[in-house]
Chain A
Amino acid sequence: MPRHEVVSPIPGVFYRRPDPDSPPFVEDGGAVAADQAVGLVEVMKSFHQVAAGAEGTLVEFLVGDEDEVDAGQPVAVVETG
């Protein structure tokens, strides 16, 4: 299966949930659409959604909830096709 890496376009803190009381955007193994958010990155006191970028199955997160990430760092893997 082709693997698509979901990349954070910005540096910051990666969150898997829209807010602390909500379920994650996507569970491991969940189906995602290309424009669907898989997480948030917080930087400069604001939050930015990271979209899957490809339709398929989100097989793996490469960073943990609340990990700091760099710009261009892969945060998850989507299997497509």
Chain B
Amino acid sequence: MTGTIEVRKPGLSTTVQDGGRPGYYHLGIPPSGGLDQYSLAAANLLVGNDPGAAALEIVYLGPELLFTAPATVAVAGATMQPRVNGEDRPLWESFDVAEGDVLDFGYLTAGARAYLAVGGGVDVPEVLGSRSTYGLGGLGGFSGRPLAEGDVLPLGGGTGRAGLVVPDDLRRSMSKDVEVRVVMGLYDHRLTDKGRATFLDTTWQLTPVADRIGFRYTGAELETVDREPPFGAGQDPSNIVDAPYPIGSIQVPGGVEPIVLHRDAVSGGGYMMVATVVSCDLDVVAQSAPRTRTRFVEVDLDGALAARAEQRDRARRLREALG
């Protein structure tokens, strides 16, 4: 039996997200999808879905949702106590809701983004092969935007079962002190040796200016190499001739306040990118709430590939544990 979810309170910015919409960034359409792909996969696997099925990404403040039919659900990612009709339910574990049940959440106590998966997935139409919401473009998800009070979300048919649990060692740990691995470049030649050392030695703090597009940090000013601006670049030392922005690239406008671009990023512009976050650590950035203390740790390309292989192995063990 397929049902719906009625949105009684939307939370701060709750969006439908899945594994993403790769392949269109060259046209300016970013991949979108869950910012913490690992937690999204965990929530989906708990309810018997494919790891990249459409779920709800909840940031900072949980929604209040009414289920019109029985369903199996799971919440993974940020620590935000799920409650059914006011009674606590576990995180990282599947549980059933009955027709008429209301699911809501306690305050965020760790991390930043929780993923609510429902057996059968959230059945909004696919746009360019994905159900993910790209808010800036008004594309995909539920009407191309975050959920609002009164929205009714269609659910796919699912056959999940309650009581599946993600083992402790496969849960994402959440911390206010994180290390994010980066590969330096492509524009780190704009930094002096001192500027480069400052970037890697500073404990940066995430500001409240952090959303699906980018995460802005504060902490130090980076020294740049003096130069005559090349034709097409602006006068600011951080300006470059416009270039494509990789997802995960770290731009530093004015040499202050680095911005990590995330999965809803704009595809290009004219600020130097001094480094790029390795893909699996974008999940770590995703779970950073404002004031998270962050160190950028340099790895080479081999180190980045090793990190990716490790993440894939972890995802495989997760599938095996919940299969």
A1-31 contact mask (Cβ, 8 Å, vs B): 1 or 0: 0000001011111000000000000000000
Binding site for B on A (CB under 8 A): 7, 9-13, 42-45, 48, 68, 70-72
Given the known interface contacts A9-B107, A11-B108, A43-B12, the answer about A70 and B289 at a Cβ–Cβ threshold of 8 Å is: yes
CB A6 to nearest CB in B, in angstroms, measures 13
A48 to B59, CA, bound (A): 14
Q: Which residues of A contact B109 (CB under 8 A)?
A: 71-72
5 additional A-B residue pairs with CB within 8 Å, beyond A12-B208, A71-B108, A72-B107: A11-B208, A11-B289, A44-B210, A45-B211, A71-B107
Binding site for A on B (CB under 8 A): 12-13, 59-61, 107-109, 208-211, 289-291
Q: Which residues of A contact B208 (CB under 8 A)?
A: 11-13, 42-44, 68
Q: Which residues of B contact A70 (CB under 8 A)?
A: 289-291
Q: Which residue of A lies closest to B112 (CB)?
A: A11
What are 5 A-B pairs with beta-carbon distances under 8 A?
A: A10-B108, A11-B108, A12-B208, A43-B60, A71-B107
A43 to B209, CA, bound (A): 6
Q: Which residues of B contact A12 (CB under 8 A)?
A: 208, 290
Given the known interface contacts A71-B61, A71-B108, the answer about A10 and B291 at a Cβ–Cβ threshold of 8 Å is: no
Q: Which residues of A contact B59 (CB under 8 A)?
A: 44
CB B75 to nearest CB in A, in angstroms, measures 16
A45 to B208, CA, bound (A): 8
Asked if A72 and B108 sit within 8 Å, CB to CB, the answer is yes
Q: Which residues of A contact B107 (CB under 8 A)?
A: 7, 9, 71-72
Asked if A11 and B211 sit within 8 Å, CB to CB, the answer is no
Q: Which residues of A contact B12 (CB under 8 A)?
A: 10, 43-44, 48
CB A45 to nearest CB in B, in angstroms, measures 7
